[in-house]
Amino acid sequence: MRALIQRVTHASVTVDSQTIGAIEQGLLVLVCAMKDDTPVQSTQLAAKISKLRIFKDSAGKMNLSLKDVGGSALIVSQFTLSANTSRGNRPGFSMAAPPAEGRTLYQQFIADMQALDITVAMGEFGADMAVELVNDGPVTLWLDTN
């Protein structure tokens, strides 16, 4: 699985002019299931994200995890993280998991984060979403289980 995470002071996701998920301090997690991913990758990715020490401690150093600061995660599915841009100017998305598998792994990832006692808000799989965020730092990291 792939994820782009951004440390935020606020993030929200809107579908059809309705805010369906919002958080304050925490992480915006854009996540994509890739072909051949399994629940094992979902569990590994959730564990890694929950433990990443990317929040500031009292000395201003990135030394605290999402769990340490009691932050939340806004999890949004984003198949475009699978983009292959190696040929031409139009990205290809053939490396993304098929929609049914992608939905299952997205839901698994949400459950994995919740199982780690992370408060979760979420987007809507497959929907046209508007995501707003205030990137803190900015801190943005790319993670890939492969």
Domain ranges of the chain: 2-137
Q: What is the pLDDT of residue 141?
A: 98
Intra-chain end-to-end CA distance of the chain, in Å? 7
pLDDT at residue number 107: 98
Q: What pLDDT does residue 146 have?
A: 87
Q: How far apart are CA 1 and CA 9, in angstroms?
A: 25
pLDDT at position 8 is 98
- Annotated catalytic residues are 78-80
Please answer whether residues 69 and 118 qualify as being in contact, where contact means their C-beta atoms are separated by less than 8 angstroms.
Answer: no
**Count of positions (residues) in the chain:** 146
The pLDDT, as a whole number, for residue 97 is 96
Cα–chain center distance at 42:
11
Q: How many CB atoms lie within 10 A of CB 19?
A: 12
Tokens of 93: 């998305």
Burial group, residue 59, by CB count within 10 angstroms (0-12, 13-18, 19+)? exposed
Class of domain 2-137: alpha beta
Distance CA 17, CA 1 (A): 29
Determine the distance from the C-alpha atom of residue 39 to the mean position of all C-alpha atoms in its chain, rounded to a whole number: 15
pTM value? 0.95
Task: List average pLDDT for each run of 10 residues in the chain, which is 146 residues long.
Answer: 98 97 98 96 97 97 97 97 94 95 97 98 96 97 94
The pLDDT, as a whole number, for residue 121 is: 98
